């Protein structure tokens, strides 16, 4: 099953790489390819691979600037023995901004994700619907704005034998601090600072409660369509049924868009 998944990914990357930008009434199909390496695969507070690293490639199609997008995302364990947790996700999303020039500007998104685990029974597959709202202009501070956000995700098993259904409520803050560009061709660069606090109401057999809080820092280096993004993150874990340890992890991703 794993070999088949890797083969499908190779075919997908070759096909997508050969697609020229298409137009529809002057709008173009956007394609973004990304490959990421993470020292730990952290998901809603859970350490999925128990501290082991992962390779996480993805492809996203921006559907002609309509706000709709399609994404195929995957995670492959880089240490033998964890292959059962290899994952391929299929997502459709819609996002839209309102009142963009006002202090009460809002960025809103909704999405659906199917989590597929190709190396084990489909009884473990999970679906998710979610949404988020953020306010990019609400709290101006210095050269940028402190951005509050709220996201909700509801997960439920595809089959009755799967894990418990439940919701995640995520309250976040973000701030993009302008810094001097390190690549001459890059117009602007930011140090992106993020933090969030998550409430798990019982999903995946967790005890309901505030499960964890995270902070992160990242920046992006852009050059001729490529984007290299290193990041470091730290998690304070509050609920032992989600994670009984605090976690530190790092990642680096390389993306190419056209």
Question: pTM to 2 decimals?
Answer: 0.87
- Give per-residue pLDDT as tens, 209-249: 999 999 999 999 999 889 999 999 999 999 999 999 999 99
Tokens of 90: 């299929």
Determine which of 47-61, 151-165, 209-223, 239-253 has the lowest per-residue pLDDT on average: 151-165
DSSP 70: E
State the average pLDDT over residues 138-164: 90
User: Three-class SS string for 178-212?
Assistant: EECCCCCCCCCEEEEEEEEEEEECCHHHCCCEEEE
Tens of pLDDT, residues 91-115: 999 999 999 989 999 999 999 999 9
Number of domains in the chain: 1
How high does pLDDT run on average in the chain? 89
The CATH number of residue 129's host domain is: 2.40.160.40
pLDDT digits (tens, 9 = 90+) for 1-45: 444 444 455 545 544 544 444 444 567 889 999 999 999 999 999
What local confidence, expressed as pLDDT, does residue 162 receive? 67
Rg of the chain in Å (alpha carbons)? 19
Could you tell me if 179 and 173 are in contact, meaning their C-beta atoms sit under 8 angstroms apart? Answer: no
Q: What does the pLDDT read at residue 24?
A: 47
Q: Are 126 and 160 in contact (CB under 8 A)?
A: no
List Cα–Cα distances, 209 to 4, 168, 212, 233, in angstroms: 39, 10, 9, 22
* Torsions phi, psi for 95 (to 5 deg): -140, 150
Question: What is the structure's pLDDT at 12?
Answer: 52
Q: Which domain holds residue 136?
A: 2-257
Residue found under tokens 């989590």: 115
């Amino acid at each position: 099953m794993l070999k088949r998944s890797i083969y499908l990914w190779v075919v997908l990357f070759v096909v997508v790489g050969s697609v020229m930008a298409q137009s529809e009434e002057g709008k173009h199909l956007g394609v973004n390819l990304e490959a990421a390496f993470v020292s730990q695969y952290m998901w809603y507070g859970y350490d999925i691979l128990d501290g082991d690293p992962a390779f996480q490639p993805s492809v996203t199609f921006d559907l002609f600037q309509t706000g709709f997008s399609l994404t195929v995302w995957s995670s492959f364990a880089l240490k033998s023995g964890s292959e059962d947790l290899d994952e391929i996700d299929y997502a459709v999303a819609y996002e839209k901004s309102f009142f963009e020039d006002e202090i009460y500007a809002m960025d809103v998104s909704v999405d659906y994700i199917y989590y597929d685990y190709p190396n084990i029974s489909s009884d473990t597959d999970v679906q998710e619907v979610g949404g988020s709202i953020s306010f990019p202009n609400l709290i101006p501070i210095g050269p940028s704005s402190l951005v509050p956000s709220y996201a909700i995700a509801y997960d439920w098993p595809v089959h009755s034998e799967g894990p418990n259904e439940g919701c995640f409520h995520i309250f976040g803050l973000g701030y993009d601090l302008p810094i001097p560009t390190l690549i001459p061709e890059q117009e602007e660069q930011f140090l992106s600072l993020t933090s969030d606090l998550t409430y798990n109401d019982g999903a995946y057999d967790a005890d309901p409660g505030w499960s964890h809080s995270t902070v992160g820092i990242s920046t992006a280096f852009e050059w001729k369509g490529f984007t290299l993004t290193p990041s470091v993150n730290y998690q304070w874990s509050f609920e032992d049924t989600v994670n009984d340890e605090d976690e530190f992890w790092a990642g680096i991703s390389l993306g190419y868009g056209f």
